Amino acid sequence: SIKEPPQNPPPRPPADLRRKRL
Amino acid sequence: GPIILETYRAISDYSKNSKREVDLSAGDMLEIIEKNPNGWWFCQCESRRGWVPASYLEPLEGPDEAEEPEPNYEGELYETIKAYTATQEDEFTLQAGEIIEVIHKLLDGWWVVRKGEETGYYPSMFLCKTGLRKEA
From chain A, pick out residues whose CB is under 8 angstroms from the CB of B55.
10-14
Nearest to B84 by CA among A17, A7, A22: A7
| C-alpha span between B23 and B84 (Å, rounded) | 25
Give the minimum alpha-carbon distance from A18 to chain B in angstroms, rounded to a whole number: 9
pLDDT lower than 70: segments of chain B: 62-67, 134-136
From chain A, pick out residues whose CB is under 8 angstroms from the CB of B54.
10
| C-alpha span between B38 and B124 (Å, rounded) | 6
| C-alpha span between B1 and B23 (Å, rounded) | 31
> CA B98 from chain center: how many Å?
20
Inter-chain touch B88–A12, beta carbons under 8 Å: yes
A21 compared with B55, residue with greater pLDDT:
B55
- Are the beta carbons of B12 and B56 closer than 8 angstroms? yes
Q: So what's the pLDDT on residue B1?
A: 73
* Residues in chain A whose Cβ is within 8 Å of chain B: 2-14, 17, 21-22
Which element (helix H / strand E) includes B32? strand B29-35
Inter-chain touch A4–B20, beta carbons under 8 Å: yes
Q: So what's the pLDDT on residue A16?
A: 67
Q: So what's the pLDDT on residue B132?
A: 74
The fraction of chain B above a pLDDT of 90, given in percent, is: 75
Please write down the long-range contacts of B58-63, taking CB distance under 8 Å and 24 or more positions apart.
Answer: B58/B8, B58/B9, B58/B11, B59/B6, B59/B7, B59/B8, B59/B9, B60/B6, B60/B7, B60/B8, B60/B9, B60/B29, B61/B7
Q: So what's the pLDDT on residue B136?
A: 47
What is the complex's ipTM, to 2 decimals? 0.82
Tens of pLDDT, residue by residue over B29-63, are 999 999 999 999 999 988 899 999 999 998 887 65
Cα dihedral B9, B6, B16, B48 in deg (nearest 10): -110
Q: So what's the pLDDT on residue B134?
A: 67
Give me chain B's average pLDDT, please: 90
How many other β-carbons are positioned within 10 Å of the β-carbon of residue B83? 12
Alpha helix (H) residue ranges in B7-130: none
